[in-house]
Each structure stands twice: as structure tokens, then as C-alpha cells.
A and B are shown apart, each in its own frame.
Chain A
Amino acid sequence: MQQAKPDGVTPSQTVGPYFAYGLTPNGKYDWNDTFSNNLVTADTSGERIRVEGQVFDGDGAVVPDCMLEIWQADAQGRFSDPQDKRALPNSTFKGFGRIGTDAKGGYAFDTIKPGQVADPDGKPQAPHIVLAVFARGMLLHNYSRIYFDGEAANAADPVLALVPADRRATLIATRQPGGNAVYRFDIHLQGDKETVFFDV
């Protein structure tokens, strides 16, 4: 329904340090988890991966009161959203995850490797996960992207191409040694190793 046009959007404010009860209980409090850091169900198709890392501030100190949210396509590059007309209505993969960092600033998501999604010109983007970073001391969340190393499509990705070459590595999760597909993706809120954040 259409109303009188409001005079602008509601301003953003910080999640503060005490978001855990409302947003990321993870068994710590008596409140159900609507979302978790495990996006995979038994029926989900695609390569199982774990993305893990730590969050650091401008002094290199870990950020223990950070909340991360991810949004991604399924293994076929489809989003679980009616706006994606290619989405399967019964897709078991919801594509959204949320977690609060631990005392060491650490986090992990269990998910699947996303497929390729087209850019506005119809060209395929390299597989990526969209990331939103919230924390005490952040009045507005930051958007970033998680790409994967060893991915040939990275070279032609239109969004990575916007990033100065010497900063691109901050967007690429590195495959860890071992049999399981574990990728390391650290987030630096500020400083020399600052993660690239996008103005969206």
C-alpha cells in the first residue's frame, strides 16, 4: 500500500555489544535461534565448505563483539528469493547465515560453495558470498565480499576488477591445507590490511 512519502530512511545505529541475546543466542541464552552459522541441510546439493577467520580492529586487536551475516547463491548460482526468477521454490538452501564472534574474534560458517551469479550486464561473476559486518563502534554495517582462491573466474570478475590490485587479496579466502574444504577469511576493520568494503 502507498502512503505519503516519508522524508527519508531511518538512520542506522550500532548493534552495540549486547546484541547476542536478540540476534545470536547460539544456545547461550534461552531464546530460539532463527538463524545460525550452519547453512547446510541434509538435502543441500553442492560442495560443503567451511569459511572461518577472525575479526581485527585498527590496532590489530581481536573484535569479540562483532556480528557477521552472509548471503549467497546456491551451488547453481540461484538465490532463495522470489526476485530471482530462476530460484527453485522448494530449494532447501536458504543462503543466509549469522554468527557473533567469540572471545578471540573468531567465527566460522558451514555452507556450500556458491555457483556463479550474473552481473547487471549478464556476465558471470566469480563465485562469492556477500558479507555484512556489524559491531559495537560501527554505526553503519560494512558490506564486503568473500571470494575463493584458486578460482579461475576471479580474473574476469567485474567487481574484483574495481578493486586496486594490491587490495584484492583482502577479498579472497585462502584454502587451508588438508582434505576438508576450509577457507580462511580474516576481516580487518581498519589499517594496512584493511578489508575492502563496498559502497552499496
Chain B
Amino acid sequence: MTLVYPVQSLAAHPPRLSPAYKSTVKRSPSKPLIPMRHTLSELTGPVYGHETVRENDHDLTVQGKGEPIGERIIVHGHVLDEDGRGVPNTLVELWQANACGRYVHVVDQHPAPLDPNFTGAGRAQSDAQGYYRFVTIKPGAYPWGNHHNAWRPAHIHFSVFGHSFVSRLVTQMYFPGDPLFPFDPIFNSVTDKARSRMISSFDLENTKPDWALCYRFNIVLRGRNATPMENK
């Protein structure tokens, strides 16, 4: 196996201990992580065929008996690696709150209505070039108790696999111009430079007239070099 996933890529990620996000204080490692060389176990990863994605899994507005309440949106983008290569045929999963800012999860007690026609889960596979597309409802902001008057900016959770277990990524897509950005410790756990990569861009070109606004969200996974760097 002659692939190398550079560890420098990890600098984009937030520190595990980010005290402003209170739950990290007791859940982040207190001991240094142990560096290791990647073996075949890390360099391989689960591969999923199209059989895992059903016809309507990418369209969260048609999964119920009727149409969900809220602002219908298209979310699409390119799954690529940091060297600019599209990542084809990879599973993209998402989950989100409804238009009122409430999740279907039993633990979510935010006193906002549940929408019987919106469950907030979707799944798609990137195509042969690495492009994916969802139709959904714009999620609402919601309170979360981390600090006084803490509200999460509207966001959609994304889970992506890529081609190895070390390129696994769970992230959140935010919406441009959200007034809650300066106050959110999860969004702000990431460096200034990298933060913008989590914000989707409004896409008028792909907005459907009389139907739905469109947002573009490219997801960049770790790249892989074909030759081990220590051999150069």
C-alpha cells in the first residue's frame, strides 16, 4: 500500500478540548494521542454500492404523507479531496432539525412544533464525478443550553466516508449570513481561515424558478498522495 494521507490536513479541525463548548470539557482526551503510521486497516474503508440508497432518500420533502412545512431548498455540491479530485460513489448522509428548529429525537424538548411530514434524515451517493444533491427544508435555529441565550445557527449535519477510514468526516453545513455565527462556540471552535469552508453559498444559477432556492456546499476530504513522502 503506497498511499499517504497527510497529517497536516488535520490542522483544519477544531481542537478536541474547546471549553466554550462545555460538553468538550469531560469528553476530550486528557492524554496525548499516540501517532502511528497508517496500515491497511486505516487506508481502506467501507465501500457502499447503490443498493444502500433508495429512490427518495435524497428528497426529504417526499418521505411523508404530505409536504413538510417550511422553506424548500436544494442542497448540492461536490465531494472532493484536498487535491481537487472528485470522490465518486461515496455515501453522503445528513440529518437536521425541521423548519421550526426541532429534531424528531425524543430527547429534543424544544417547545417548537414537530412536523409529521418531516423527519430530517437523508442519504445520497455522490456520482461518478463526486457530485451529490438533496432536496430538503431549511432548518430553523434552536436553543441548546450551553450558555445564556445559546442558539445554534441553522445547520445541516453531514456524514461522509471517502476512500479510507481516516478520511471519515462528520461536519455541519451552515447558511450564509447567519446572525448567530459570532455567538456559537461550535462554529467558532474552528479557525477563522477554515470556518468559511462550513458555510454554503447561495446558488442562484441552480435555484429552481417558482420552486426552491439552492445552496452549494462542497465537502473537502483528506487527500492522498500516491507515493510515501518518506521515500522522496
Give residues in A with beta carbon < 8 Å to B.
1-23, 25, 29-32, 34, 57-59, 61, 63, 65, 69, 71-73, 79-84, 94-96, 117-120, 125, 128, 130, 132, 134-143, 145, 159, 162-163, 167, 189-191, 194, 196-200
Contacts and interface: CB of A to CB of B under 8 A. Distances in A.
**Lowest 6 CB-CB distances: which A-B pairs, in order?**
A22-B95, A137-B23, A96-B46, A137-B27, A81-B44, A58-B26
A142 B45 contact: no
28 contacts: A7-B193, A8-B82, A9-B13, A12-B13, A13-B14, A13-B170, A18-B107, A18-B108, A19-B157, A30-B119, A34-B93, A58-B25, A71-B46, A81-B45, A81-B46, A95-B46, A96-B46, A119-B37, A130-B165, A137-B23, A137-B26, A138-B24, A142-B33, A162-B35, A194-B30, A197-B34, A199-B10, A199-B34
Residues of B in contact with A, size category: 35 or more
Interface in B24-79: 24-31, 33-48, 52, 54, 78
Nearest to A95: B46
B133 interface: no
B42 A200 contact: yes
A191 B91 CA distance: 35
A200 B38 contact: yes
Interface of B: 1, 3, 7, 9-16, 18, 21-31, 33-48, 52, 54, 78, 80, 82-86, 91, 93-97, 103-105, 107-108, 119-123, 129-130, 157, 159, 163-166, 168-172, 186, 189-190, 193-195, 197-198, 218-222
A65 B47 CA distance: 26
B219 A120 contact: no
B14 A11 contact: yes
